[in-house]
Each structure stands twice: as C-alpha cells, then as structure tokens.
C-alpha cells in the first residue's frame, strides 16, 4: 500500500495514497493489530472446527468430523459409536454423567428398600418425591393432572383421601402394575325414570344431602334389594367394596358424579342420576410392562404421599 500523509486538525493521518479530482484523499484507519489477529485466530479456529466437528453439507449428507466420536448405550442395550453430535452427547451424559450416577445410586437404594423403610426415611422420601415427580409427569399426568387431582367423572383424584381400589402402598402398587377396570352397569333400561330419580335421592341422602324423604325411602328399597342390586358392590351401608372399585357413597367425595360442581339440589340429583343411568366404564392401563420395577416403586410412594395414603 502506498502511503502518503495528510494533516488534519494538527494530526498526521495516513491515507490510502489515492487522490481523486486532484486533492480528494481517503484516510486509512486500519483495525487495531490485536483486533486483526483475533480475527485471524477465529478463522483458524473455524478451520480446525470443520476438521473435528460436523460442519459442511455435502449433497444429501455432511462432513462428520474426524477423531471425534461418542460411544453410548443405545435403548436396546448395545454399545453404539457415532460421530460427535449433541443428541448422542446428551444420551451419554444421561447415562454416564455425574448427576446420572448420583440419581442411579439413590434409585437403587430406594429399589432395594421396603415400603416401610422408605416411608420412614426422610432422605429417601425426598429423593422419591423429586424423582417420581418426573416419572409421574411423563406417564400419569396426562390423565391424572400434574398435581394428581384428576378429572371428576373421568380420572380419579389421587391427592385426596378417597381410594376406590385401596390406598395402602401394596394396593397402589397393584393398581399401577395391573391396571384397573372400573365398571358399573347402566340402569337406564332396567329402571324407570322415576326409579332412577328415587335411587339418586337415596344416594345423595347417604352423604347427608337434603332430599325428598319419600323419594329416598323408595330409592332405598331399590338400592338394597335385587330390584336395583346396588348393594352388591356399594354394600348395604353404602361404603363400597374395594375389590370392585365401588365408590364410597357416604363420604363427601364424588369421584364420578359431579356433585361438587352442581349449584342446586336438582342439578346434584341430575348428576347422580346421569351416572346411574349411563353406568361407569373406566380403565387404567397396566404399567408393569412399560415401567421398571424401580419406577413403579417410586410412583407408588409418590402417589401414596400425595394425599397421605391409607
């Protein structure tokens, strides 16, 4: 570069050496040297990066990078080695990372302990709550909700103290492993509309709702005899057979009929009547094939703790 100097404001400034129209010159203010070298360094870095990491698209594929592979355990248990990529890196971290190792250590501890030991150990309970929250979120929350409150009529609330199939850890584990089939026949063809009204009144009276006493008495007869046969599953006292998953009709919790959401006595009766008319057909799938024993154990303790268990 040819250099001439121009004077401006008392300072000598380098110019590019060109002159247009006789005296029009261009100042040359180059980048600071360290800046320029930093730029060259980034260029060198990029070239090195291209060699070692996936970088350039070539037709339908891309350069994979050399001497830079990741070995991880695939989902089928086999060792797999691929070129460097963030997805495999994440898998490897999840399997071999420091936190993964800690988590595995605790999971094995919980898996090896009995329910009584886990429930009495604050540290294992803490781990279970934090670990199972994720498992619950991945597998259970879709129906039962993230907090386990379920949906009235569809999915039972796990955070209260009503347990259709039992609230002990053993019963919860069985529910998780084998799934449940909650069934109540539809009575709309077996009973008349009036009879359905009467049974609904009686059912509401069991939990202390104010209802027409005559209707309730008529309903009781249907409930407690083979005419309706309700007592087979709900028992003659109305507390429900756990083996059938029959709801306790004497408490304040309504898991199927949306009584809590109804504003007037008529609406509440209508809600109960709808359930008696249409029956119940609810299924919870079995999880023993889909989840590991340790995961089922974690979930069992977690669900047990949500509402306090039994």
Partner 1 sequence: MEADSEVLYQTRIPVYPRSVKGRFRNIKWAILVFAYSVYFLLPWLRWERQVGPDQAVLFDIADRKFYLFGLVAHAQDLFWLTGFLLVAALLLFFVTGIAGRVFCGYFCFQTLWTDLYMLIERRVQGDRVARIRLDKAPWSASKVLRKGLTHVLWLLAAFWTGLTFTLYWADAPQLIVKWFTGSAPFAAYATTLFLTATTYVMAGLAREQVCTYMCPYARFQSVMFDADTRIVAYDVARGEGAAGRHKVTRDLKQREQRRQQGVGDCIDCGYCVQVCPTGIDIRDGLQVQCISCALCIDACDNIMDSLGWGRGLIRYTSEKQARGEHSRIWKPRTIAYGLVLVAAIAGLVWSVSSQAPLELSVVQVRQPLFVRLSDGRVQNSYELHLENKTDEPMQLVVMMRGLPGAELDVGKLTSFELPPQRSLRVLARVRWDSTHKVKGSRSFEFDVIPQYRQELGMISAPATFYMPGSEH
Q: Which residues bind partner 1 (CB under 8 A)?
A: 3, 5, 11-14, 28-30, 32-33, 116, 119-120, 122-123, 125-126, 129-130, 146-149, 157, 159-162, 248, 251-253, 260, 305, 307-309
In our burial notation (b when 16+ CB lie closer than 10 A, e otherwise), range 104-133 reads eebbeebeebebeebbeeeebbebbeebbe
Residue number, 14 or 277, with CB nearest to partner 1: 14
Closest CA to 230 of 254, 206, 208: 206
3-class SS shares of the chain: helix, strand, coil, % to 5: 45, 15, 40
Least distance between partner 1 and beta carbon 14 (Å): 5
Q: What tokens does 12 get?
A: 């000598």
Least distance between partner 1 and beta carbon 100 (Å): 15
Least distance between partner 1 and beta carbon 305 (Å): 6
Residue pair 194/187 in contact (Cβ under 8 Å)? The answer is no
Least distance between partner 1 and beta carbon 161 (Å): 5
| Separation between Cα atoms, residue 231 and residue 301, nearest integer Å | 32
Residue number, 36 or 51, with CB nearest to partner 1: 36
Least distance between partner 1 and beta carbon 268 (Å): 9
Least distance between partner 1 and beta carbon 45 (Å): 16
Residue number, 35 or 56, with CB nearest to partner 1: 35
Element (H, E) at 58: strand 57-58
N- to C-terminal Cα separation, the chain: 89
| Separation between Cα atoms, residue 6 and residue 28, nearest integer Å | 10
Residue number, 153 or 229, with CB nearest to partner 1: 153
Phi-psi domain of 169 (left: phi exceeds 0; alpha: psi -120 through 50; beta: other): alpha
């Amino acid at each position: 570069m040819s250099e001439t100097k121009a004077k401006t404001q008392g300072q000598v400034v380098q110019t590019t050496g060109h002159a247009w129209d006789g005296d029009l010159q261009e100042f040359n203010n180059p980048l600071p040297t360290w800046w320029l070298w930093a730029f060259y360094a980034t260029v060198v870095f990029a070239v090195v990066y291209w060699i070692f990491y996936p970088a350039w698209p070539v037709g339908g594929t891309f350069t994979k990078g050399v001497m830079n592979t990741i070995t991880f355990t695939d989902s089928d248990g086999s060792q797999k080695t691929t070129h460097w990529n963030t997805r495999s890196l994440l898998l490897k971290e999840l399997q071999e990372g420091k936190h993964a190792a800690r988590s595995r250590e605790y999971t094995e501890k919980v898996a090896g302990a009995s329910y009584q030991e886990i429930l009495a150990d604050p540290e294992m309970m803490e781990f279970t709550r934090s670990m199972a929250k994720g498992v619950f979120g991945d597998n259970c929350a879709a129906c039962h909700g993230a907090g386990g409150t379920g949906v009235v009529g569809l999915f039972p609330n796990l955070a209260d103290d009503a347990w259709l199939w039992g609230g002990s850890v053993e019963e919860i584990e069985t529910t998780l492993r084998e799934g449940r089939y909650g069934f109540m026949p539809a009575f709309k063809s077996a009973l008349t509309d009036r009879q359905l009204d009467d049974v609904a009144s009686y059912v509401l009276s069991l939990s202390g709702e104010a209802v027409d006493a005559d209707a309730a008495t008529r309903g009781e007869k249907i409930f407690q005899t083979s005419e309706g046969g309700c007592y087979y599953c709900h028992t003659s006292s109305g507390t429900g057979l756990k083996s059938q998953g029959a709801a306790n009709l004497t408490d304040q919790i309504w898991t199927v009929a949306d009584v809590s959401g109804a504003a007037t006595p008529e609406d509440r009766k209508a809600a109960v009547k709808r359930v008696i008319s249409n029956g119940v057909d609810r299924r919870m799938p079995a999880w023993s094939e889909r989840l590991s024993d340790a995961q089922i154990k974690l979930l069992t303790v977690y669900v047990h703790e949500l509402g306090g268990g039994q």
